[in-house]
Amino acid sequence: MIDVHFDAGRVPDYSGKHVQQLYLLRYAYAYAFEYKSIYRKLWSRMQHNNSIKVTSIGCGALIDYWSLAHVVNDDCEITYCGIDAVDWSYKFPRRKKDNVTYAIGNAIELLGRSPCFSSDVYVFPKSISEFSVLDVQKLSTYFSADSLTKDTVHFVITLRADADNKADDMKKASILYQRMIDCGFHSEDENNVCYRFSDENRGKKIQQVDNDFSHPWAVVNYLNDLYGKCSNRSTCGKSNSCEKRLGRMPILNCQYTIGQIFTFYRGKAL
């Protein structure tokens, strides 16, 4: 049986094409909006540069690249390196002007082979939850005053919204934060502060807030009745968890948009 858990710390087998399809139908819409919201905040910090270099750790189907491309100026060139353990069958389209690469393999091992880190931004798009604390500790050791070539470095980390999982994700993010401080960088951001979508919009539908998003209701209705369409209901086992797991609506509201942005500057604060 294919495991389709996406919650509570479970990591499904994303190599399965049907798991990818369900994941994207259920989450791509909301995650693209979430990444676009947080990239917009980051872009305002970067003062609208004409280029940006990003390393995305756990990039999946390149959803966060699509979001970034919809935030930057038209004349901004994106250099984007996505890293994922799985070569996803479905990937968001790329702009001709951008340099987009996709590295397949274990992120800890791949990054460990890199002699230097030259990106402006290191992003964990809903992926830090899939790394253990030990993994993040290992990853953090790769960042050093010598390996980081930029004097200003940004980390973007999107979090799970429920309290317990959010705390777990922030604990891992704080490991990266502290490592950068130990490397001689400083930051005006605090590692215990989250970015949430503005309070006045959190109760609204995503499509009410951003014209780039208009979720087809045929998809919503299909997902809502996915369990009813399953031909194996009577033979796949006695557990009733399938009904709960397959009958979920896709996320359509703004309220789950949450993440952290850390901007680090080389040298001690004045």
Separation CA 27–CA 10 (nearest Å): 16
CB 258 within 8 A of CB 194: yes
The arithmetic mean of pLDDT across residues 230-256, rounded, is 64
Q: Give yes or no for residue 9 having a pLDDT over 80.
A: no
The arithmetic mean of pLDDT across residues 249-270, rounded, is 85
Domain boundaries, the chain: 34-200+253-266
Give tens-digit pLDDT for 222-239.
Answer: 777 665 556 555 555 555
Q: What pLDDT was estimated at residue 226?
A: 65
Separation CA 173–CA 266 (nearest Å): 19
Third-level CATH fold of 34-200+253-266 = Rossmann fold (3.40.50)
Q: Give yes or no for residue 143 having a pLDDT over 90.
A: yes
Q: What is the CA radius of gyration of the chain?
A: 19
The arithmetic mean of pLDDT across residues 52-69, rounded, is 97
CB atoms within 10 A of CB 44: 10
Beta-strand pair 99-104/77-84: parallel
Give tens-digit pLDDT for 157-167.
Answer: 999 988 889 99
Q: Give yes or no for residue 243 having a pLDDT over 80.
A: no
Higher local confidence (pLDDT), 78 or 7? 78
Higher local confidence (pLDDT), 62 or 164? 62
